[in-house]
Amino acid sequence: MTHFQGLRKLFYLLLGGALVLPAAALDIDRAKDIYGPCAACHGPFGAGGKQGEYPRIAGQSPKYVEQQLLAFQSQVRINLPMYPYTRERELDDQDMKLVAAYLAQIELPTRPPEFKDSDDALARLLAMEKVMIIPRAAGDIDNGKAVYQKNCAVCHGKTAQGRGMFPMLVGQYTNYLQKQIDAYLQGDRPHDEEGAKAGVLYRLKDGDSQDVLAYLTTLQAVEH
């Protein structure tokens, strides 16, 4: 794939042209096979790295996952570890759609399950591995809520569940989100249509982004 083709495919996605596979049409075995190499970093359930070194991808919208995979493939978004896994010969369009739909339907509860006496140790271990609780972050939660609802909710949703091409933020590792904010502010990753140093992140006051991150950690109990 040429750089131009990658950009064209990414633009097509941004216009909402990507098809989303319904859950009933998912070939789970095929999807798990495609996802296999990804699990080395993102974990068997897409929960990412325990310290946020790799993001949570479970529960993200299919459009967003496809958009990012195409961006990695075309190097619109530079991420050297991801490039070998997203080259066209490794991950074609249909595989992207399938793995994106598969990840979207994985739910990571924020509370430990209630076990039955009949549940063996392995069943309990596997169930607990899917529980994802992000520690509360320091910050002014009231200010974070006000800033988020004014500046971020229109794209990411009132409860930060994301929508369409905009990612889910709730339940994501705080330090991973901070790294992405830093990348946006440094111009290493485009954030919105207004371009470098003109988007919403540049209009926030000192401390606002930390307060937003603190606020996001209070939303994770909102299960979807």
| Higher local confidence (pLDDT), 21 or 142 | 142
Residues near 2 by beta carbon (within 8 Å), at least 6 away in sequence: none
92-101 pLDDT, tens digit per residue, is 999 999 999 9
CB-CB contact of 18 with 12 (8 Å)? yes
Per-residue tokens: 162: 């994301």
Q: Closest Cα to residue 60, out of 95, 21, 100, 27?
A: 100
pLDDT bucket at 16, cuts 50 / 70 / 90: very low
* Adjacent-strand bridge partners of 166: 163
Question: Token pair for residue 57?
Answer: 């991808």
pTM: 0.82
Distance of alpha carbon 152 from alpha carbon 163, whole angstroms: 12
Average pLDDT for residues 136-155, to the nearest whole number? 97
